[in-house]
Amino acid sequence: MRLQDHPGSSLYALVGCALLGLLLLALPAAAQEAARAPEYRAFPLIGSRLAVWAIAQLHLNFAAFILGVPIFAVIIEIMGWRTGEQRYDWLSHEFVKLTFAAFSTTALLGALLLFLFVGYYPRFWAYMSGIFYPTFSVYAMLFFLETFTVYLWYYGWDWLSGSKKWIHVCLGVLSNLFGTAILFVSNAWVTFMTSPGGIDEAGSLTSLWGAINNYTWMPINIHRLIANVTFGGTIAAAYAAVRFLQAKTDEERARYDWMGYVGNFVAISALMVLPFAGYYLGREIYAFNQTMGITMMGGFMSWLWVVQAILIGILFLGSNYYLWLGMERIPGSERYRRYIPYMIMILAAGFIVWATPRSIPLTPSEARIMGGTHHPVLGVLGVMSAKNTAVNLMILTTFLSYLLYRRANKESVKPWVGTGMAAQWLIFAAAATVVTFYGVYGYFVESIVRIGYSVYQVLAVLGAIALVMAIDIPMFRGARSTGQIRWGTIAPRSQYVLILLAVTFTWLMGLMGFARSGIRQHWHVYGVARDTSVDAWTPALGYAANMITIVTAVFFALVLFIFWLGGLGEKGKAEGHGHVAPAIAGGSDP
């Protein structure tokens, strides 16, 4: 172990942990104090709400990154361990190095957020701690366990190698389990604010488990877990992109081209299932409270989903574009380029449908000219039937892009290749038909029935992905190569696509955070603890967008600074922890 690699980082993390621990232990006294304190205090200059908003969003961004990246880092480490390929071990170490540098900042931001709640929202915090106090000690314990496990995992990379590698992998898995448990505990607090449970009509606790296991707890757990992986993938890919653009040698360019590809691959894989987790969350919000669900989708927040649709459309288009650019560095990919225009058409059409609003706020004269608030033709595309169909077809198309990329330099030598290919096309066609059928049929049934159709559409797409891959893997096993991937030769603009994806996803996270918090409107805890502060109003999208942009810019500035700090210890070295950076140029397959 070489503890001197990140001495500053270690110190900050320990200080952060100690602060958090002390603060959590001091909470009963703080809560008693809060009961006598005024309901609110005003944060200087910007006000309490903006202060909490900024710190909460920053904390969430960092937390998502340090929880998401280790999930796929350990999977990559296992791949390296089982296949014996050193490059995977190096890559896993690179990813963990990134999260390690951000660890202490996450802890410090968390402590700062807690200070803000205790200091500026004392009554609210007294109420929340009255409900969740028993979970605070669990959270603190998990935080310590997570910290020490990650330290062991990172610093034990060389020490636990060779025959002891399995212990190292177990540490990686363990740190992920602790990290996920931390996520679940803190999700209980935040989801309770949206969909409180386990309390009586007066807001008094009747069941702690009921408060934890509220309507939106499990959907948010799943949604955040998947989104964290996507987010981690995009940030890691953006890091690789910057390193690619800064690279002085072909070897370095090749290494970071590959790293960017893997980061993006992870991000797309998780992104494809994210909408399904979103539907689950939406359904549970409706199940908890119809009014809240309707306010979210059809009330003052309805325009937010148009912005969200555009961002997700950019993510899908960007991911596909990156894959298509990547195919240019693969000999033999020319065979598949003819499909690209059709895929662009499907993606663009899906994008347009998803971004079409259902109803438009109009002046009475405008509404008269259009014949109502719904456009006579385009309004039809604004409902969930059309949008579910569009997004499922976009996911299928993205999967097709990946499939073509995967086989770009391969020619199957299996005698049943023709049948296999035909079966794959048939599966694609069947899935697209099921998705379209239920999309159209959804217009003719009640909404409660229509919601159920989205499950069939999702199952058709997921089933198609599983079946196609089940055929593809054996079909291309031992395939003839048409040439090796020329890592490092990808067009530089592809790296800006990776940066675009990272910025877009981070901005999208800020937007979704606003949506999750904003649907409570003038309630701290929906229907239980009313917001009576001067900030009880819920801002419009423009105001929220300004705030999201400022925080996202600060986040990236901090990330750059932290990565720069993290890299200081290894300045001038092509290795970390004795890890020789692998030569990848012109080398191997993904």
Partner 1 sequence: MRVPVLVKVAVFALVVMGAYTYYANSIPQLRSEPPEELSLEGGNVTPEQLVKAGEGIFKGKGTCEVCHRIGQKGTRAPDLGGIGASAAKRKAGTSAKAYLIESLLDPGAHLVEGYPNIMPKVDRPPIGLNRSELWALTAFMESLGGTVDVKLDDIPKTAGSAAGGGQVAELKLPGDPKAGQAVFMGKGGCIACHKAGSVGASPVGPDLSQIAKIQTPEYIMAKILNPAGMGTVAGYPGGVMPATLGQTLTAKEYLDLVAFLLTLKGEGAAPAAKK
Closer CB to partner 1, residue 307 or residue 403? 307
Q: How near is the Cβ of 535 to partner 1 at its closest, in Å?
A: 10
Q: Which residues contact 366 (CB under 8 A, 6 or more apart)?
A: none
Could you tell me where the DSSP H helices lie in 37-47?
A: none
Q: How near is the Cβ of 545 to partner 1 at its closest, in Å?
A: 3
The alpha carbon of 105 is separated from its chain's Cα centroid by a whole number of angstroms, namely: 19
Q: How near is the Cβ of 299 to partner 1 at its closest, in Å?
A: 6
Q: Name the residue with tokens 């937390």.
A: 63
Closer CB to partner 1, residue 79 or residue 247? 247
Rounded to whole angstroms, the maximal C-alpha distance in the chain is: 80
Closer CB to partner 1, residue 63 or residue 559? 559
Closer CB to partner 1, residue 484 or residue 521? 521
| DSSP bridge partners of 580 | 575
Give the span between the Cα atoms of 45 and 57, in whole angstroms. Answer: 19
Q: How near is the Cβ of 291 to partner 1 at its closest, in Å?
A: 6
Q: How near is the Cβ of 280 to partner 1 at its closest, in Å?
A: 19
Give the span between the Cα atoms of 155 and 3, in whole angstroms. Answer: 7
Q: Which 8-state DSSP code applies to residue 165?
A: H
- Report the relative pairing of strands 529-530 and 575-576 from DSSP bridges: unpaired
Q: Within 10 A of 464 (CB to CB), how many other CB atoms are there?
A: 24
Q: How near is the Cβ of 72 to partner 1 at its closest, in Å?
A: 23
Whether 526 contacts 291, CB under 8 Å:
no
Closer CB to partner 1, residue 32 or residue 291? 291
Residue numbers at the binding site for partner 1 (CB under 8 A): 201-204, 242, 245-246, 289-292, 294-295, 298-301, 303, 306-307, 310-311, 360-361, 446-448, 496, 499-500, 503-504, 507, 518, 521-523, 526-531, 536-546, 548-549, 552-553, 556, 560
Q: How near is the Cβ of 521 to partner 1 at its closest, in Å?
A: 5
**Nearest CA among 452, 476, 515 for reference residue 304:** 515
Give the span between the Cα atoms of 341 and 321, in whole angstroms. Answer: 11
Phi, psi of 121 (to 5 degrees): -130, 60
Q: Within 10 A of 32 (CB to CB), how many other CB atoms are there?
A: 12
Closer CB to partner 1, residue 338 or residue 571? 571
Closer CB to partner 1, residue 168 or residue 358? 358
Phi, psi of 221 (to 5 degrees): -55, -50
Helix (H) or strand (E) holding 525: strand 523-525
Q: How near is the Cβ of 45 to partner 1 at its closest, in Å?
A: 22
Closer CB to partner 1, residue 123 or residue 165? 123
